[in-house]
Structure 1
Amino acid sequence: MNKKTGLNALLIVLSLLMVGGMALQFLPGDSAKTITNAVRGEKGTPAIRVNGKTITAEELQKIQDNNPSPFAGQSKALQDDFRTFMISQVVRQKLMAQAASNINVTREDVNAEVTKVREDNKLTDDAAWTDALQRVGLSDSEYREQVKEGLAIERKNKEIEAAVPAATEEEMKTYYDLNPTLFQTEQRLKGRQIVVADEDKARELLTQARSGADFADLAKKNSTEGAETGGALGALGEGGALQAVEPVVLPEEVAAAVQALAAPGLTDVVASGGRFYIVKVEELLAPETKPYDTVKEEVKSALETSKKRGAVEAFLDEQVAAAKIEVVDPAWKYEDPTVAEVGGRAIPYSEVVGRVMQNQQLMMMMQSMQGDQLSEMINGMLKPSVVEQVIQEYAAPSIVKAENIPVVGTRQDLVSGLIAYGGRNVKVTDEELRAAYQERQQQFQTPASATVSEATFPSREQALAFRQDWRGGDFTQAATAAGGIVSERGTVQGDTDVLEPSVLQAIFEGELRAVGSTSLTNIVQASDGWKVVSVSDLQQSRVLPLDEVRAGLESSLFNEKQAAEGEKFLSSKVAALKPVNKLDEVLAAQKARVGVDAPADASGAQTTSGAATSGAQTTSGAASSGAATSEAATTSEAQAAPAAASAAASEGSAATTTPAQ
């Protein structure tokens, strides 16, 4: 189980989230807290039975009371969505607990875990521990029961993973071939450096280098590092040839400056560790895919992790499909119809609603949209897109099996693998490369830059006199003596907002007067006075030639073409399965059932169609995950373990979703 300092005391939830792919962390406010606390097997009025095990009305009421809907005051349809999502998740949690009921967890195991939680959260004092538990409505015995259940689920997860067969050579080679970018070298370079202890000297050397002086010669005469090899990065090869190295050979700040270069050239002066660096990159080498034999163990590890996640997901799918769900209290009836069918599998509506709940942009948009606007946007744009995505995921196992494609993992992993497989043979022609270069030239334009200091004078006459009289030396000292106020701006680009437009125009477009190693602009009238600007290391804007950007552009085009071809391949295979999309029917039925004209009251309460019905409703497989399988769940740090429950959803708690292959 994934833990950190400040671990949420409700250990069971973390386990459930890790194993079952629950989406509770995406609920706003205290939403995770009460759902977590409620599924405890307390005595009360039966509301829903999951394979004969009861969820009480009291539990569900507590969840509803303490989990205000994010759609309160928006619309009844969105309120109904939230209710469906919430209850289906509680049901799913009950299934997870039942799946782990055969796992033995001893009292000693529980005591050790509780002791660790108390120590991690500085709650070794019994009174402090009791107070912390009471703040989330738990007794010590209830908490220990949750810990026991959580440990059981964690161990069940490991049991499932342990039964997964090792990755085969075919699976490994396919994974490697379809994911070359995962196994690439870092960008490499051939170049030289000058390292000195004085910044002024470094800037003087940079000016000389930019003026055409031999960089290797400058390094031999001035560098405190590598002078004997002309500042070469790495060992010299045969005949003194520069060898390719990775930027990691340089200090972090210097490596960042090198990697920021769009093409071979000089960095600015970079300070690091009390010394000053200038790097001349003579050649940039694009990343290359490492040979299969050198990354075989890395491939195996990544692939087997993916296979284990897929096994857990498949196991839980089986539990859901076989589940018997009985709604015995009509007041807690909820609607979770089939929203789509593909490959012989039914997709529950709660799956789509769960994805909507995970959409963080949606939560941001709620601040500026009215209820009817938000509902139209969600139902008309977001849900249709989500349904198509989920259809692909549920179709993926059938496609993999039918096509005998050796990709493995979760449904999301399979989709990624199928897209990569479908685009595996794409090529980028020279004609396509040149056309893309012409279309995207703006991307390859390097901005103008210069190192500047501006002196501001109260009158034009003072500025003019200074500009005419200065013959070099310390610009700041001389301008200050002449009555100016000097601002050293450092290196600026032509589009900066640090300087006024008139000043930028004088620097990059105006006539400059050379004074030694620097230049002066004409006098510029600005909002705060009259300015004379010292300019050095001036670099005009230019468009990088194709040869300098070829490798990166070719890689981008390949990725774009591969994704397009892969999507086309996947879409054709999904279409062959004749998926049935019932979203329109589901939304129409929901509208008829709850209405959309009048918003729900501010408390978020929602009246369902089953409230006045007698008898029990029996369904099979009604509880379905509203989120993708999670690899782990993380919680926010808190002062107390139980108290962290209230922050789990709102203070940075998030499920780490399964990454695509």
Structure 2
Amino acid sequence: MNKKTALNALLTVLALLMVGGMALQFLPGDGAKTITNAVRGEQGTPAIRVNGKAITAEKLQKIQDNNPSPFASQGKALQDDFRTFMISQVVRQELMVQAARDINVTREDVNAEVTKVREQNNLTDDAAWTDALQRVGLSDSEYREQVKEGLAVQRKNEAIEAAVPAATEQEMKTYYDLNPTLFQTEQRLRGRQIVVDDEKKARELLAQARGGADFAELAKKNSTENAENGGALGALGEGGALQPVEPVVLPEEVAAAVQALPAPGLTDVVASGGRFYVVKVEELLPPETKPFETVKEEVKTELEKSKKRAAVEAFMDEQLAGAKIEVVDPAWKYEDPTVAEVGGRKVPYSEVVGRVMQNQQLMMMMQGMEGGQLTEMVNGMLKPSVVEQLIQEYAAPSIVKAENIPVVGTRQDLVSGLIAYGGRNVKVTDEDLQAAYQERQQQFQTPASAVVSEATFPSREQALAFRQDWQGGDFTQAATAAGGIVSERGQVAPDTDLMEPSVLQSIFEGELRAVGSTSLTNIVQASDGWKVVAVTDLQQGRVLPLDEVRTSLKASLFNEKQAAEGEKFLSSKVAALKPVNKLEEVLAAQKARVGADAPADASGAQTASGAAASGTQTTTDPAGAPGVIVDDASGAASAAAEGSAAATTPAP
């Protein structure tokens, strides 16, 4: 398995684990399918007991075999991390199942779910279904037991969510006030468009518009859409005034070009659906925050979703805090120590590892790094950052309670709420705008561009004669008849590598001879002959004035200042709780336990000295004697809130 495939498989495993399942692969019929395998029951060798209920070594081995570590060649520490996370999630899965024992799931419920799974995976044939189950070591009865447990977990979560009180008026108003950008209108505009079926005609019309021609008149004479209203976007108001519209009224590609404009003006020619568009934006209207009363129901819905997720998170915290977890088979001993403490809450190391493994950049990091390099980067950069994030999250409930701030939700939701609360009073002054505008001039530069056709002649005389004689018409046809070779370069910029620097200089810096809507460059000697270039739609680069970018710049500055002030507020409140960060101790203990990374052999696998980290060791460790209690880690992945029967169905 290559690194990219392995990591993708890992992320799938994590998602399934979080909601109470375990992914195992098999290949029924004509494609790969996935079935969740819980392999319940006491049959087998007890490896770990959770509140007295055994998780068997056979179950853990099956999970490990079907979900190999993506870090097989990336060092012992990362392999140990994968093992820790895998086992800790199996333990949490067991806690979820135990917590849902009071939920009644009937045989009819199970039959309906199994039928749905079989139909979705084209396994309605009994022989195909049995074969698929056997591939992952399951009988039909074992799979039905798994489905029953998945449905119970789903309904338990639903019961917890149903008991959550409705959002209060104060909670809704606070959420609205602290998150104004969530309730804004789309950017609107007043403008006109020209739509034609021929690209060359569209470019000619664009050139005329850029030259000062009346856009509405061009639209009346040429546009295939709304020509009678001068190409107006939307209906005309009293006195023929343009009405504001949202970009969504335009085709997707055209709307994107409009939204990319930093200020009112003309788009380039945009192709969409076999037609060609030119849009003139006369006014850009900034987004506005909708009144509270108009979005109250939307606020209520979003807030109550957050409160429900928080209720499930809190429930899982309680299960973990009261859990008795015993390793009874030394071969499956794992370490999940407390990596930080804050506000009376403990952060489990497995949660740090889970965040690291779900980091979207990890796959790219794995592609070009050896095991030792990746371990150093993960331990030295990624894990410290994750621990700090988790400290903030675990501190958030205490801060909210102490400060009596009416924000609600999961730990992550509370952090977002506290940051917004801490930065709620920031202002952006004119001085701020002026300073930022001067510092960010490069952001407001519009690059030079032109649409060009390049004619190459074998001699200077031929090129000169053509330039002097051409009075308009079809440039390509005329240049070819005069002995030239024409290359249609399309739209180019001064830094393009399609043309030689001397030719580009003649376009953007040289004197041009105007011939109707087209201009000709001076004759330029190049490596392959003498050139004359036809230029249309020439746009010189410029820096947009502050007035044209004021609205967007102000919004950007406000977000930056609010985030900075909010982080400062949150950091001060977290510091007051005197958090204890034990990451260095945890990593040192891990290194002492698993040893230094061994070099990889030619196949990319670790040498024998690294095998102990893979979870298959059989030697007896005094520290791993039966009955050892693993640290009761408080806190569960918030994704447990999604625990449902979906975890029991094959992945699409």
TM-score, normalised via structure 1 length? 0.87
Quickly say closer, same or farther: Cα 1:315–1:352, change in 2 above 3 A. same
Question: Does the alignment pair 1:350 with 2:355?
Answer: no
Offset of 1:424 from its aligned partner? 0.5
C-alpha distance in structure 2 between counterparts of 1:17 and 1:614, whole Å:
25
| Highest RCO, 1 vs 2 (Cα 8 Å, sep ≥ 6) | 1
Offset of 1:510 from its aligned partner? 2.3
Quickly say closer, same or farther: Cα 1:633–1:430, change in 2 above 3 A. farther
The 8 Å contact of residues 151 and 645 in structure 2, kept in 1 or not, is answered as no
Cα shift readout 1:85-129 (whole Å, capped 9, x = no counterpart): 221111111111111122111121111112112222222222222
AA aligned opposite 1:629: A
Cα shift readout 1:413-469 (whole Å, capped 9, x = no counterpart): 110010001000000010010000000010000011112222344555544443333
C-alpha distance in structure 1 between counterparts of 2:122 and 2:408, whole Å:
43
Q: Which residue of 2 aligns with 1:53?
A: 53
Offset of 1:210 from its aligned partner? 1.2
C-alpha distance in structure 1 between counterparts of 2:53 and 2:573, whole Å:
40
Q: Which residue of 2 aligns with 1:651?
A: none
Cα RMSD of the aligned pairs, angstroms, is 3.1
Q: Which residue of 1 aligns with 2:412?
A: 412
Unmatched runs of 5 consecutive residues or more in structure 1? 1-11, 28-32, 649-661
C-alpha distance in structure 2 between counterparts of 1:554 and 1:612, whole Å:
63
C-alpha distance in structure 1 between counterparts of 2:122 and 2:624, whole Å:
51
Quickly say closer, same or farther: Cα 1:57–1:392, change in 2 above 3 A. same
The 8 Å contact of residues 185 and 289 in structure 1, kept in 2 or not, is answered as yes
Quickly say closer, same or farther: Cα 1:624–1:506, change in 2 above 3 A. farther
AA aligned opposite 1:452: V
C-alpha distance in structure 1 between counterparts of 2:396 and 2:343, whole Å:
9
AA aligned opposite 1:611: D
- SS of the equivalent of 1:123 reads coil
C-alpha distance in structure 2 between counterparts of 1:250 and 1:316, whole Å:
48
Offset of 1:224 from its aligned partner? 4.2
Cα shift readout 1:206-243 (whole Å, capped 9, x = no counterpart): 22221112223333444444444433323333444332
Q: Which residue of 1 aligns with 2:364?
A: 364
Offset of 1:514 from its aligned partner? 1.6
- SS of the equivalent of 1:488 reads strand
C-alpha distance in structure 2 between counterparts of 1:299 and 1:527, whole Å:
65
- SS of the equivalent of 1:629 reads helix
The 8 Å contact of residues 121 and 641 in structure 1, kept in 2 or not, is answered as no
Once the two structures are superposed, the pairs formed by residues 156-171 of structure 1 within 5 Å of their partners are 156-171=156-171
Q: Which residue of 1 aligns with 2:154?
A: 154
Once the two structures are superposed, the pairs formed by residues 482-497 of structure 1 within 5 Å of their partners are 482-497=482-497
AA aligned opposite 1:125: D
Quickly say closer, same or farther: Cα 1:514–1:608, change in 2 above 3 A. farther
AA aligned opposite 1:112: A
Which of 622, 627, 630 is residue 617 of structure 1 equivalent to? 627
Once the two structures are superposed, the pairs formed by residues 584-603 of structure 1 within 5 Å of their partners are 584-596=584-596, 598=598, 601=607
- SS of the equivalent of 2:367 reads coil
Offset of 1:538 from its aligned partner? 0.5
Offset of 1:13 from its aligned partner? 8.3
Offset of 1:404 from its aligned partner? 1.1
C-alpha distance in structure 2 between counterparts of 1:35 and 1:216, whole Å:
61
Quickly say closer, same or farther: Cα 1:371–1:35, change in 2 above 3 A. farther
Quickly say closer, same or farther: Cα 1:591–1:516, change in 2 above 3 A. same
C-alpha distance in structure 1 between counterparts of 2:628 and 2:35, whole Å:
23
TM-score, normalised via structure 2 length? 0.88
Offset of 1:529 from its aligned partner? 4.8
C-alpha distance in structure 1 between counterparts of 2:89 and 2:102, whole Å:
22
Offset of 1:60 from its aligned partner? 2.0
C-alpha distance in structure 2 between counterparts of 1:626 and 1:309, whole Å:
12
The 8 Å contact of residues 325 and 619 in structure 1, kept in 2 or not, is answered as yes
- SS of the equivalent of 1:519 reads strand
Unmatched runs of 5 consecutive residues or more in structure 2? 1-11, 26-32, 600-605
AA aligned opposite 1:508: F
Q: Which residue of 2 aligns with 1:629?
A: 639
C-alpha distance in structure 1 between counterparts of 2:619 and 2:414, whole Å:
39
AA aligned opposite 2:564: A
The 8 Å contact of residues 154 and 644 in structure 2, kept in 1 or not, is answered as no
- SS of the equivalent of 2:40 reads coil
Question: Does the alignment pair 1:333 with 2:343?
Answer: no
C-alpha distance in structure 1 between counterparts of 2:478 and 2:83, whole Å:
73
The 8 Å contact of residues 118 and 641 in structure 1, kept in 2 or not, is answered as no
- SS of the equivalent of 1:450 reads strand
Quickly say closer, same or farther: Cα 1:598–1:491, change in 2 above 3 A. closer
Once the two structures are superposed, the pairs formed by residues 185-584 of structure 1 within 5 Å of their partners are 185-526=185-526, 529-584=529-584
Cα shift readout 1:152-193 (whole Å, capped 9, x = no counterpart): 111111111111111111111111111111111111111222
C-alpha distance in structure 2 between counterparts of 1:521 and 1:452, whole Å:
10
C-alpha distance in structure 1 between counterparts of 2:83 and 2:227, whole Å:
71
C-alpha distance in structure 2 between counterparts of 1:241 and 1:176, whole Å:
34
Quickly say closer, same or farther: Cα 1:18–1:613, change in 2 above 3 A. closer
